[in-house]
Structure 1
Amino acid sequence: MIPRISLVLLLLASPLWAMDPSEMLQDPALEARARVIDHELRCVVCQSESVASSNANWAEDARRTVRELLDGGASDDDVMDFFVARYGEFVLMSPRVSGSNWLLWAAGPLMLLTGLGLGIGYIRGRSKLTSPQEAVLSEAEAARLREIMKE
């Protein structure tokens, strides 16, 4: 039982190893801003982790760069723009809705609306179809039918 608990605690604490105390800023307000930015940036090595939770060398360098820029007086947007200029929108955990990627953001709702429109059009079209009228037999056909039925 104890080894399982130790393993769980070890796994839960793994993101804590990512941040080296020497990387932290002395000003608590700047450090809080840096941590928010760290969570918004994607590690280009790991690709599925934020810079805050990655142990990759690139992530360490990125955290250090974030703190240097903030310590130098850069705003949060300036820091994000710095990374986007070098690595593209991929470096953002949540890409911005701007430029050419607006279509990607709008694709889901557009597909849903298109599907609903096609479905409604199909149902309305089917309801407008006239029901086939009963075939009226001519006198000769009716006589032949009676004759067949007697046999």
Structure 2
Amino acid sequence: MRRTTRHALLDSACSIQRSLEVIGDPWTVLVLREAFMGVTRFGDFATALGISTDLLSDRLTTLVEAGVMERRPYTEPGRRSRHSYHLTSTGEELLLVLGALQQWGDRHRLGDDAPSAERRSRTTGGRLSVAFVDESGGAVELDDVAFVSMPAPEH
């Protein structure tokens, strides 16, 4: 069996592989979940997740370097300057990914518990589902979706 190196993944033409270099770690996805719930401060991420500070620091650094989050300095009265972490527009697009993971988990990994959160429209309050949509905005059934390989670019 051939082993794939981290460098080979970074050079991959596959967008899925390159994306997993940024968000493929479970802790990273949970950091993103908390960010979408409004958490911005390091200590609040650590408390909410029960994650070690070294691991959290590493995951936040990865997200900042990938342009998913940005650091913003802040200072509380009488304290040293610190950084808060905020989703960029690139990071905000990951809401689709988290929504799709949640929807799949609600269907296939729920167990005896009710879902911990629902996807709802801020405007109407109606429930939302994550789906593939065509150019006209219509939902496409999963059995009608195909991933079609594209020719490699010429160098």
* TM-score band w.r.t. shorter chain: under 0.3
Mark the structure with the bigger radius of gyration: 1
Between Structure 1 and Structure 2, the one with more strand by share is 2
Given the two structures, how large is their TM-score scaled by the length of structure 1? 0.20
Between Structure 1 and Structure 2, the one with more helix by share is 1
Given the two structures, how large is their TM-score scaled by the length of structure 2? 0.20
